[in-house]
Amino acid sequence: MFRSDMRRTSCAVFMFSFMLLAGNSAKAQTPLPLIPLPATAVEGTGSLSVDHGLQVVLEGYTEPRLERARARFLDTLSREIGTSGVPPQTVAGGKLIIKTAGPSAPVQQLGEDESYHLEITTTGAHLTAPTPLGVLHGLQTFLQLVHSTPEGYAVTGVTIDDKPRFPWRGLMIDTGRHFMPLDVLRQNLDGMEAVKMNVFHWHLSEDQGFRVESKTFPLLQEKGSDGLYYTQDQVRGILEYAHDRGIRVVPEFDMPGHATAWFVGYPNLASGSGPYKIERHWGIFDPAMDPTRESTYQFLDQLLGEMTALFPDAYFHIGGDECNGKEWDANPRIKQYMQTHHIKDDAGLQAYFTSRVQQLVTKRHKITVGWDELLQPDTPRDVVIQSWRGQDSLAEAARRGYRGLLSAGYYIDLNQSAADHYAVDPLVNGKAKLSPAEEANILGGEATMWTEYATPENITGKIWPRTAAIAERLWSAQSVKDADSMYRRIDTLSQNFAYYGLPYQGVREQMLRRLNSYSDPKALQILASVVQPPRDYAREELRAYDAFYPLNRLVDTVPPESNKAREFNELAARIAAGKAAPEDWRKARQWLALWRDNDAALQPSLPKSTLTAELAPLSHNLSQAATIGLLALDALQNNAPVSAEMQKQQLAELKELEKPQAILLNRIVPGVEVLVSAAKAQ
């Protein structure tokens, strides 16, 4: 979780992304609504109608997974164009011929060929690929090309040759802090498939929960999960579901820290004296496995035997993050052991632990993955390092010959913007350039969704659509970096996500409706549309949360990034720069008036529910900021000078309005500040 260091990192990321954005805002438009953008695409003329059905023919190599992919494709297509429930027609309108050269590996491997060739003309479509993996990707490209026309639904005529830039394009979901039911995992695997991600990193154990059934050590789940865990049959179900979508599943069992939940059932694993309880708070805690006892490794040997058999992937994640060593320091027996074995500090002790566990993983013919902490002077060369420290740290690992994954910059739980994440490239770093061989050590990256503040209800709407920006960064060419284009294409994808099995927009509306039981629903929607949870780790400083705290407030409902506020802030920037069209002026005035007047509609109902009572100052702030914005707009439009005193006062007031209320930021303030600052002062 890397709380303290991450603070600095994410700040740097933010600055960096801001520069990139600015540099790219005038780039060429991308006409195809595809995300990720393909390696090459040549638009043809015309399009293929799908209004009278589509016959999908499998040629060449085939397997049940391809049959299921076809059925799923047709099902998604029918939802996309609204023909669910229409029986299959015997005479189909068009034909999509899929030709697969041969099988992919039985257990999906890192670096397998995922390429495909897709050709769509007015008379039909051809999808060819070396393996089913390419077919799966090509089908998603096809679905993204479907659109409505005056003549009905059609697919753009195009010839696409496509393959990924990085072989490891992952999404990590933390099911330890908040357990996520199977349907949530399946929805997110659907989302990953839509944007061609290929690794689901399943964070399965935490201080707050051990989430998978062990038959060898059943007290792990029985005492460490509140009954909220995945049975081995359910795990196999998810593995199949992922395999069907061209997605590898890498399990993570986090150790030696972040493991309190293990110790509830097996206190002898720990370095303290126990007894242990499931942790109910968020943060970094003292409990840690005892690296000095052979019984620890005997336990882990058996458990890893069981878990490496359950999860077929060649890679196995052992965590390794944020062990604070306090339990070790407090245990005289452990201090003694360190002295006897010439282990000079806690980092050294963790290195010893890691090397022992890594041997157990290797014994099961698996490759170890772990967080940055795993990288020590004598770490074995086949360990894969997942980097949170940043691109430089990743580059250093690569230079030392380790393969690595970037996650710094892809912490999607931190409420950064899609553009921020998009600007982070695994191969772009501030320092020295890597050689091609060293670059090849960088396998890709992973979006990481930690779940202190995510529930089964809202997690999918936090992960998507922003993760699509990361998916594009990892799939498409390095030169693809126009954030405006990315936002436009993400917007199209968002519209369609419901048909791909991700109903998070509907769920968000339901959550708003629940908050709304007494309020004017429109007024609450208007407020919700321009506020955002604070970035990074600000939330935990604003309120004391624990595992029992219900996440049912407005802050838990709104997306991490307000599209409306982003649009307004862009509008304000154009107005301030003297580049605004009349439509921009009209919109800015209309929106500001709406926001100014919204408070009066919303305020009376807010006190009726605990959930909305805290929103009163936030709603009031919005009205205040909009009022100032309208004054600035008047001044700018009339080219009327404003007193410097007044301007200073307004900017001071806006600084106040920028502060979070009800754990939410009023995100129109930056745009209003731009407007106020642009007025001529005298």
Q: Considering beta carbons, is residue 109 or 495 the nearer one to its own copies?
A: 495
In the set 206, 213, 252, 322, the catalytic residue is 322
Site string for its own copies, 38-57 (x = CB under 8 A): -------------x------
Is 605 a binder of its own copies (CB under 8 A)?
A: no
Binding its own copies by CB under 8 A: which of 31, 102, 506, 641? 506
Binding its own copies by CB under 8 A: which of 99, 126, 147, 589? 147
Tell me the C-alpha distance between 630 and 591, whole Å. 10
Q: Buried b vs exposed e over 411-434: b needs ≥16 C-beta within 10 Å?
A: bbbbbbbbbbbbbbbbbebeeeeb
Choose the binding region for its own copies from 1-9, 108-116, 141-149, 637-645 (rule: CB under 8 A).
141-149
Choose the binding region for its own copies from 261-269, 299-307, 513-521, 674-682 (rule: CB under 8 A).
513-521
Q: Considering beta carbons, is residue 122 or 552 the nearer one to its own copies?
A: 552
Binding its own copies by CB under 8 A: which of 23, 31, 46, 152? 152
Tell me the C-alpha distance between 89 and 471, whole Å. 36
Is 518 a binder of its own copies (CB under 8 A)?
A: yes
Q: Helix/strand/coil (H, E, C) string of 387-414?
A: ECCCHHHHHHHHHCCCEEEECCCCEHHH
Binding its own copies by CB under 8 A: which of 59, 63, 226, 541? 226
Is 248 a binder of its own copies (CB under 8 A)?
A: no
Residue ranges in 254-293 that form contacts with its own copies under rule CB under 8 A: 278
Binding its own copies by CB under 8 A: which of 511, 626, 657, 665? 511
| Cis bond upstream, residue 256 (ω within 30) | yes
Residue with tokens 């933010």: 14
Q: Position 102: which residue type?
A: G
Binding its own copies by CB under 8 A: which of 611, 630, 636, 665? 611
Phi then psi for 629, rounded to 5 degrees? -60, -40
**Cβ contact 408:13 at 8 Å:** yes
Residue ranges in 454-473 that form contacts with its own copies under rule CB under 8 A: 455-457
Tell me the C-alpha distance between 256 and 659, whole Å. 39
Tell me the C-alpha distance between 285 and 296, whole Å. 19
DSSP code of residue 642: B
Measured in whole angstroms, how far is the alpha carbon of residue 130 from the centre of its chain? 29
Is 608 a binder of its own copies (CB under 8 A)?
A: yes
547 to each of 1, 34, 96, 265, 541, how far by Cα in Å? Answer: 17, 39, 50, 20, 16
Choose the binding region for its own copies from 125-133, 428-436, 510-518, 581-589 (rule: CB under 8 A).
510-518
Please indicate whether residue 656 is annotated as part of the active site.
Answer: no
Phi then psi for 112, rounded to 5 degrees? -65, 155
> In the complex, what is the shortest distance from the CB of residue 477 to its own copies, in angstroms, rounded to a whole number?
28
Binding its own copies by CB under 8 A: which of 302, 505, 603, 677? 505
Tell me the C-alpha distance between 10 and 3, whole Å. 11
Tell me the C-alpha distance between 680 and 644, whole Å. 9
> In the complex, what is the shortest distance from the CB of residue 422 to its own copies, in angstroms, rounded to a whole number?
24
Report the run of H or E that residue 369 belongs to, with start and end.
Answer: strand 367-371
Is 210 a binder of its own copies (CB under 8 A)?
A: no
How many alpha carbons lie under 13 Å from residue 273 in its C-beta half-sphere? 4
Tell me the C-alpha distance between 165 and 197, whole Å. 12
Choose the binding region for its own copies from 479-487, 609-617, 621-629, 648-656 (rule: CB under 8 A).
609-617
Is 32 a binder of its own copies (CB under 8 A)?
A: no
DSSP code of residue 620: H
Is 231 a binder of its own copies (CB under 8 A)?
A: no
Measured in whole angstroms, how far is the alpha carbon of residue 84 from the centre of its chain? 30
Is 503 a binder of its own copies (CB under 8 A)?
A: yes
Which tokens in the block code for residue 601? 């509609």
Q: Where are the alpha helices (DSSP H) in 428-482?
A: 436-439, 459-463, 466-475
> In the complex, what is the shortest distance from the CB of residue 73 to its own copies, in angstroms, rounded to a whole number?
16
> In the complex, what is the shortest distance from the CB of residue 328 to its own copies, in angstroms, rounded to a whole number?
29
Residue with tokens 């100032």: 628
Which three-class secondary structure state does DSSP give residue 77?
A: helix
Based on DSSP, count helices (H) and strands (E) in the chain, helices before strands: 26, 19
Q: Considering beta carbons, is residue 86 or 652 the nearer one to its own copies?
A: 86
Tell me the C-alpha distance between 666 and 596, whole Å. 13
Choose the binding region for its own copies from 5-13, 399-407, 464-472, 506-514 (rule: CB under 8 A).
506-514
Choose the binding region for its own copies from 142-150, 341-349, 463-471, 481-489 (rule: CB under 8 A).
142-150
Residue ranges in 170-199 that form contacts with its own copies under rule CB under 8 A: 178-180
Residues in contact with its own copies, counted by CB under 8 A, come to a total of 55
Q: Considering beta carbons, is residue 51 or 161 the nearer one to its own copies?
A: 51
Is 549 a binder of its own copies (CB under 8 A)?
A: yes
Choose the binding region for its own copies from 216-224, 289-297, 332-340, 545-553 (rule: CB under 8 A).
545-553
φ/ψ bin of 373: left (φ > 0), alpha (ψ from -120 to 50), beta (otherwise):
alpha
Site string for its own copies, 73-112 (x = CB under 8 A): ------xxxxxxxxxxx-----------------------
Is 359 a binder of its own copies (CB under 8 A)?
A: no
Residues catalogued as catalytic: 322
User: Which spans of this chain sit near its own copies (rule: CB under 8 A)?
Assistant: 51, 79-89, 147-152, 178-180, 226-228, 278, 455-457, 495, 498-499, 503, 505-507, 509-511, 513-514, 517-518, 547-552, 556, 607-611, 613
